[in-house]
Amino acid sequence: MAIQARRRAQADQAPAPVRFLRETFDELRKVVWPTPQELYRYTLVVVVTVSVIALFISAVDLALSQLSSHFIYTNKTG
């Protein structure tokens, strides 16, 4: 416990950018990083989800443009 108190006292005396970087590295050591298999699976889920949403939005856009061209922009002669 005394070592941590001494580190904190020294860290408080360091310039702000140095203290920020030191605290950032300390926090990054606590992170549980995904395994390559998990990273691949998560990436695949994101790509598939974005693709499905893009297809849905494209379909809705196409349908609305077709409806608007049929009902609003009809060629009225007569």
> What pLDDT is attached to residue 6?
61
How far is 26 from 22, CA to CA, in rounded Å? 6
> What pLDDT is attached to residue 14?
77
The helix (H) or strand (E) run that includes residue 69 is: helix 36-71
Residue 32 class from Cβ within 10 Å (0-12 exposed, 13-18 middle, 19+ buried)? Answer: exposed
Along the chain (78 residues), what's the average pLDDT of each consecutive run of 10 residues?
59 81 93 95 98 98 92 69
Domain ranges of the chain: 1-31, 33-78
Length of the chain in terms of residues written: 78
> What pLDDT is attached to residue 70?
85
> How distant is the alpha carbon of residue 59 from its chain centre?
25
pTM to 2 decimals?
Answer: 0.57
Cβ(19)–Cβ(11) below 8 Å: yes
